[in-house]
Each structure stands twice: as structure tokens, then as C-alpha cells.
Amino acid sequence: MKYLIRISHAHPHVAEIEMETFFKNYHLNWLTPMLCTVSCTSQMMDDIIQLSSCIKIVVENPIITNIENDEIVGLDDLIIPQSSRLVFNNFKVKITRVHKKINNFNTEKMIVNVARQVYSCHSHLEIDLTNPDVIFQVLYWGNNIALGWLYKEKEYREIAYREPKNWDYFGGGSMKSHLSRLLINLLYPLDATILDPFSGHGGFLREIAETGSYAIGIEVNKRIIFESRANSRKYGLDQNIGLIHGNSLYPPFRKSGIDKIVTDPPYARQTTTVGLNRDVLMEKWVKILDIGTTVVITTPTDMMIQNPDGWGIDIDVTDYVHKSLTRRVRRMIKLNERSK
Ligand SMILES: C[S@@+](CC[C@H](N)C(=O)[O-])C[C@H]1O[C@@H](n2cnc3c(N)ncnc32)[C@H](O)[C@@H]1O
């Protein structure tokens, strides 16, 4: 099945990499920075929609064409694809502008136009604007237009409820749940267990647990361990999270068997670095990890692990967290003990 995916523009660089990571062995055709098409099975698409932190709208079997003088070019000649869900009686047409650019299109006229065409292919259908069985989705940007049956429109209410401002205990340095989830997804395919070695109040841990993996956190500050556990209990996720009170430079396991790590390490403003300079802490920490470990790490832009020896870096981007805070995101794989 061919799908059109519209992603959120909250973290454009990382979101694009999330999509590239999910569809690693598939061809993503980017129509704009927020829209792409891909062909895959519906099972795969369902799994990815479930995990994703950036997918907003998915349309199946999209038609991609142009608009001229409020008319959708050649719409009459286009065959509106039959939905895989044949059992429905009513529908509505929904129109969404993809990018901010203002067009003075007569969207009402476009909706009527499209609805008429859908009718001509499915004459048994009725229009139901309040509670339709299916939605015929129209997306437009510039003079371009994509249309087809809506496969899924994703809601992010649950993930928003896990934002740091809703936690009972919160240290000030915690990352938004959407971005945490995006970074975890850069480890896709996700392993059964994922580690955050500087776990703080547990933002990453709860998003890991939400994906269905087991999360292990290491935190040096005992008070924060208790607070993190209380936060996770509030969300009913504490059963899927293991917390270790300790120093990540001396983990209580040797060969851990955990080879996927996501972390937001301390950067010595609101958080402790157990007396070490934050960069020295990072340099020492990357040395103790096993070969084959993948780490997704986010740091302030002025804090860099300078091309650590023995690691390959395949993602290195900056993204806005909010207006005054830019974060660097890296995905690194430990290739060998010494040189690259
Ligand atoms: C930036 S915070 C992590 C924020 C976290 N992602 C959250 O959602 O709350 C970094 C945490 O690392 C902890 N930390 C500092 N040095 C550590 C070490 N050597 N081992 C384990 N934890 C450490 C700090 O106490 C702090 O809570």
C-alpha cells in the first residue's frame, strides 16, 4: 500500500530523521519537509504510527496533483482509489493546508468539487459532517495538492499529559516528552531493554516504557531516584522501569547486554556531575561502554563530546527545544576500543 505522511514541524530535523530511521530500508519520497510518501504493509504502518512522535496525518493511496484557478487539475480524470475499508456508508471531505504560505484558494469550492468526485465513484455514500465513517482528506501546499482516504490522524494528548510540567517532581532541566520520544525512536528497532545512564526525574524512562520496552535508569542522586519513581508511579509505568542508585562511571554490571542507550547527560547548571567537569565525565563514560553500543545523546550546543575515539557518528544535528534553547542531537555507535 502507498501512503502519504504529514509530520509535525515542531522539531523538523529530528522528525525527518525519525522517519528515515523507521523506514530505513524503504524509499521515502519527500514532497516537502513535512510531507512524504512511502510504500509498505499496513501492519508496518500501524506499528510506526503507534510509536512515532511526529506523524500527524496518514492518507492511503494518495493522488498528487495541482490546483489552477481554484480547480484541481484533472480531478475528473483521476480515479478516486477504493479504500481498503469498504464497509462504510458516509464520509466527509476535510481540507488541510500543509505549510504556512497563504493561498487565496476557494477551499469551499474545492471541497464541493472533491465530494462530487467521490460521489461519482461511490454512489451509495452520504455526507455526514459530524460523525463520518471515513474522511476524504485533502492536503495542499503552494499549488500542489494531495488527496485520498484518511488512514489515521494521530492525537498526542497522552504524550502531552506526560510533559514535565505535569510531573509531581521536576528538576528544571527535563526535556519535553515529545522530544524525548523522538530521540528514543532514533534507536529503532527498539530492544527489549533500553538504558538511560543519567536518568534524573525519569522523562526518558517513561517514554521508553510507553513504547513497550523495559527502561533502566541510573541516577547518582538518591532524592531524585525517589522522586523519579513517584513520577513514574503517577503514570502507572513504574512496573516497566528499573532504577539503579549509582554512578554511571561504575555501573553495577560489567557486560550489560544492553546495547541501546538514550540520554540527556548532566551539564552542570541545575544538575550535579559528581565533582567532575561535565566534559571529563562524558569522555570517561563513553570509554566504559561495550563495542556495538548505540547511544542517542542530546547536549547543549556548547557541550560536545569531541569525536570520541572508536565511535562512529551517523547523526549530528541541532534542533530548537524552544526559542532560547538549541540542543545538539547525536547518534553514535561504538565500533572499536581505540581508533575509528
Ligand atoms: C540533565 S539530568 C537528566 C534529565 C532527565 N532526562 C529527566 O527527564 O529528568 C542529568 C542527571 O544525571 C545525574 N547524574 C550526574 N552525574 C551522574 C553520574 N555519574 N551517574 C549517574 N547519574 C548522574 C544528575 O543527578 C541529573 O539528575
- Angle among Cα 271, 275, 280 to the nearest 5 degrees reads 90
**Best residue among 195, 199, 280 to mutate for probing ligand 1, ranked by most atoms within 8 Å of CB:** 199
Q: Which atom of ligand 1 is nearest to the CA of 196?
A: 6
Instruction: Quote the ligand 1 centre to 78 CA distance (angstroms).
Output: 56
Complete DSSP assignment for 87-119: ---EEEEEEEE-SS------HHHHHHHHHHHHH
Cell digits of residue 291: 563495542
- State whether 116 and 253 are in the same domain: no
Asked if residue 15 lies in contact with residue 7, where contact means CB atoms within 8 angstroms, the answer is: yes
| Grid cell locating 39 | 510504500
Residues 173 and 119 in one domain: no
Query: pLDDT at position 340, please?
Result: 42
CATH number at residue 309: 3.40.50.150
Q: What is the atom index within ligand 1 of the atom nearest the CA of 224?
A: 27
Helix, strand and coil in the chain, % to nearest 5: 25, 30, 40
User: How much is the pLDDT for 327?
Assistant: 85
Kindly state if the Cβ of 31 falls inside 6 Å of ligand 1: no
CA of residue 10 to ligand 1 center, whole Å: 25
- The C-alpha cell at 38 is 512511502
For 79, the domain range is 2-153
Give yes or no for a contact between 215 and 241, defined as CB atoms under 8 angstroms apart: yes
- Contact between 62 and 4 under an 8 Å Cβ cutoff? The reply is yes
**Total-model pTM:** 0.92
Query: Do 65 and 119 belong to one domain?
Result: yes
221 lines ligand 1 (CB under 6 A): yes
The pLDDT, as a whole number, for residue 81 is 56
pLDDT at 339: 46
Same domain (yes/no): 148, 162: no
Alpha-carbon distance of 71 to 105, in angstroms, equals: 9
Domain boundary among 94, 118, 153: 153
- Angle, to 10 degrees, between the axis of helix 203-211 and the axis of helix 222-234? 40
CB of residue 243 inside a 6 A radius of ligand 1: no
**Closest ligand 1 atom to the C-alpha of 205?**
8
228 lies in the same domain as 147: no
**Mean pLDDT, 10 residues at a time, the chain of 340 residues:** 94 94 97 96 97 97 87 71 65 88 78 86 86 93 91 95 95 86 97 96 98 97 97 97 95 82 81 72 88 92 74 89 78 79
Sign of torsion over alpha carbons 58, 62, 65, 69: negative
Torsion region of 173: left, alpha or beta (phi above 0 gives left; psi -120 to 50 gives alpha): alpha
Q: Is the CB of 167 under 6 A from ligand 1?
A: no
Quick check: is 235 in a domain? yes
**Residue 77, pLDDT score:** 64
